[in-house]
Structure 1
Amino acid sequence: RTTEQAFGDKLHTYTIVDAITDKNVLPFRIDYIRTIREADEVDDQQKVRDIDRERALNAPERIRNVVQYIREHFDQKTMRNAKSYAFTRLMNVHEVASARDRAAVEEAKDKVRLSGFNSIFAVSSIDTAKLYYNEFKRQQAKLPEVKRLKIATIYSYGANDPDLEMDGMDDENSENTEGLDVSSRDFLEGVIRDYNATFGTNYDTSAERFQNYYKDVSLRMKNREIDLLIVVNMFLTGFDATTLNTLWVDKNLRMHGLIQAYSRTNRILNSIKTYGNIVTFRNLEKATNKALALFGDKNASGIVLLRPFRDYYEGYEDAGKKTPGYVDLITELKNKFPVGEIIASEQEQKEFVKLYGAILRVKNILSSFDEFVGQEILSQRDVQDYHSMYIDLYNELRPKSDENKENINDDLVFEMELIKQVEINIDYILELIRQYHDSHLNNKEILVDIDKAVNSSIELRNKKDLIEQFIASLTVDSSVDSDWQEFVKSRKIKELDQIIDDEKLDKKATYTFVENAFRDGYIQSTGTGLSGILPPISRFSADGERSKKRETVLEKLRDFFDRFFGISSGKL
């Protein structure tokens, strides 16, 4: 029975093309990765269950290569090396997931800072899920724990074989695991034991606890606590997580099921996440184009899918309109705004801001293409100089605001989230300082490099005097790493004590408040914490004096936090 037979003629359609055009969801970028030899490859559109083909797809060498590819490209695809962003995270996941009455549990949420996104790996069967889970464990076994991806797996009995290329995608039964064979259930018990060890939980495959495990996995995916979740059908329909940007695929998808699975990745979060990443290890190009034509229109791929690398790099023409590529934009930048030249007029400043913003946006897209490595054109020093020019104009023209994407006026936008994404960090600066120290404090060219690098970084500019004073304190006998930590700790305490003295704050309470801020990644402006450090205000004081005092203290502590966060530990 069709939808029309059940409900009558459709009154209106709203397709994925409409949603992307309206900027309600993001477009997709798709990589088709060939993983078996030409002679072995079978067109995945065939409705055929071939034992030899399944043996080839589940061959140990192929499984090993796919896992290796994912591990090598994980940071690139999920943008883990991007600058951090603020995110509201659920802090009591286990309590919420295990509650019999969800309404009776208050969700504890707090702001944290995250870098990059997470992913789902959709595979063809439970047996394949087992193979991949074990291979990830094997390849990560020798890595230090901090470098291991947090891998989870969930599956349960489904009435239909998930890899029969159905038009839709039936959910597996998330209620219990009663239908699983003994081997699959035992394996899942082991997976959940690993999960319990990682997250301090106590789930298993019994009916109630498996339901709670399902809820816990869902919440931790939304929290970006799980790096990669291996699934068969679960989480491929109806699951929304804004932190999810990549779907790895080793299963046959088609029609509505394909669009549903792809759409797990394209929920809008911030300006760093500009598309959903699809990396498929099966030949799904025809299925993708067919699904887009059916659920969008015959020209849907031009809107729904990102263009090929060359289009963004070299430019393209569409409907008679020329869109410049990265090469064109960089050429224009170097011709109009040579490094080191002052941009004098307001009109030229606006032109530079628009041009460099366009470069940042297209570079953000190109960064996920393997082909872009080594083709950036600009040297690192030139990038630092242009960043510095861009930040100077941002500070000169912007209104006082905490926003990352600044509208200066109707026709000027600063892409500050994107410039943060590619900026220099303190580790890079310390490496340069080590090189300077190893030159017996004689290589002044390195000092020039340090100055350029610091000026090109939003995060490091307010630390410039700290860096310069530390360099001035160096001797040939200094130990850069340990001396830097001691230097920063000393300055941190000195500057915080100065704020406490100037504003007559409670010292013990302020130390606790600041340590909590460094632990959480931000200064808490609500709640009793800030009020508890303020000095008592006389009842005879002018109206609004306590509020004014609160804002003054808050601004000073935020400046202090921004200055020392990321270069020192939280303990005072």
Structure 2
Amino acid sequence: MSEQLLRKYEPIAVGGESTVVAEFDADTNADDAHQSESQLEQELIRLLESQAYDYLPITAQSQLEENLRSQLEILNKIKFSDAEWKQFFTERIAGSNDGIVEKAVRIHEDHIQLLRRDDGSTKNVTLLDKANIHNNRLQVINQYETDGGEDGAKRATRYDVTILVNGLPMVHVELKRRGVDIREAFNQINRYQRDSFGSGSGLFEYVQLFVISNGTLTKYYSNTTRQLHIKESEGKNRGKKTSNSFEFTSWWADAQNKPIQDLRSFAKTFFAKHSLLNILTKYCVLTVDKTLMVMRPYQIVTTERILQRIEVADNYKRLGTIEAGGYVWHTTGSGKTLTSFKTAQLASKMPSVDKVLFVVDRKDLDYQTMREYDRFEKGAANSNTSTAVLKRQLEDSNSRIIITTIQKLSTFIAGNKGHSIYDGHIVIIFDECHRSQFGDMHQAITKAFKKYNLFGFTGTPIFAENSASGGNPQLRTTEQAFGEKLHTYTIVDAITDKNVLPFRIDYVNTVRVGEVDDKEVSAIDTEKALLSSKRINAVVKYTLDHFAQKTRRTSTYSHSVVSNVSAVAGGRSRVVEEKSAQRVKGFNSIFATASIEAAKRYYLAFAQQQKELVPDQRLKIGLIYSYAANEAESDDYLDDEGFDTGGLDGPSRDFLESAIRDYNQMFGTSYSTSADSFQNYYKDLSLRLKNREI
């Protein structure tokens, strides 16, 4: 079949089923009249049964354990003896010392457990079939009851709706009647985690996902670990949002980013068997610090579209062409690192793929990305400090995911003509694929590799109307360099979903044109005006006067705390919650200047205006040069992968050296402008900025 015909008959779906529905229109004729919790519960169960979930009238622990035994027997095609089951259940499923962390690790990292049989042999027992998701059986129960335990330490509770996967409770749904704030359902789940999920044999600590709904609004979020939950309750983690914060609940949506909010629509999409099983088996990430993260719909759509593009390109012999790749337009702050990590992880496991290269543009990004990747999975990716290390990793079959910079990759290509790696199937993912990757280095990479897929992530795509005029006319836009757009999630989408903060822009005029004639206006030396000491001092004063306000350092928020638990008639307990004002830790700030000369003057002005303040009242200020000096080439991009201090003129380097001495005095460090020391200074400053220490 010709290439022209192949393009004409492009397959619209490739293997498997998409986790996120392409487009969803809610049933406009649905009855949204007042419904009680009980009515919502019954409707949800009916919808799940219509999607081939089995309903079980289980309300007690003994029934739950017996069903778990039979489900694992069906999944693994075995029969437990009573002795085998007792040993397996107490040692491999519900150990007395196991909590949420251990159970999360078991589901996500150790889902095949070893059974010792009565005859002395051993057998692998799968708790969750991740290779063939439709081998897993889904059941639904409601009104499951826990008792308060023999010592009364746990509260007697009834849960609304729970989804069992192979008999294990893995998704819990908490419902409130229409009109009630869904935060009440969220708060109730927090109480369950604190008071009752660990009761009995603790099987409800296997719950990985929570869904909260009042019928009209529905959200989902991941389980959080016991340590984070306890720390937050004790106040050690206040001010830090975790997966236990309501802000980290997510809307489900279709591939067009349209939220699917009502319970009926949510049940038809999120709880579609293949969707739920994909989320549980592929799109949850248990980080190194044992925090469970669940991906958002736009992240899942993107990952699957890239994986499909890799598969299509391989099947239709398009590797090494623009059709084999594409770009993703996801706004800053939307979680591109998690999306790229999951994409790289799943792509690296595809049979046809030899390696995944994650390419960043600068050393500090290389360092930060490596930290993020290591957070998602220790050792999942290999970072390198030199082109020689990159060469070794490219030749090592065990290095499946490699983080490198475009400059190192380009240097490797220039020095290794005809290397065997160029013949392998390589997936190359570019982080922040803006103008700096559109030049000779981009061409060198695409010319050297023969069987590649090229993907770019960006929050700021280049279109024809905002492209540069210089350089290769065939590489001026993001689409020209990487192929068609695969998915979009803009700042508007992110603000609507409350995944990022909305923008607020304040303009403060510092240079005013008075009533003068045109000749006088044109004669103004703009740079001189902008760098005048009067203006700089005014800008610095405004910044110091408004810093706490703009960064919300003085703001507070209400925090619910349990103040009293008292017994009431009927043997139940009453929890009294009070609002307590907590201080917001606030945001940080970056002060950007147009030139090194401006940066030097502002740094001195900040020091001068804070001279009379005691140290605790001063803003801690660091200095970094992150753009090229004026003599550098166009577009203000550095030719090297980091900032080369050796390229600075004498006065600029001397000033940077003195600013680093100030930094060393502030933090007890010993950095300088020498090449390696400066890179470590840059990393240390980046980390302190992130931690609000500067």
Q: Structure 1-normalised TM-score?
A: 0.31
Q: Give the number of the structure whose residues are more often strand, by fraction.
A: 2
Q: Give the number of the structure whose residues are more often helix, by fraction.
A: 1
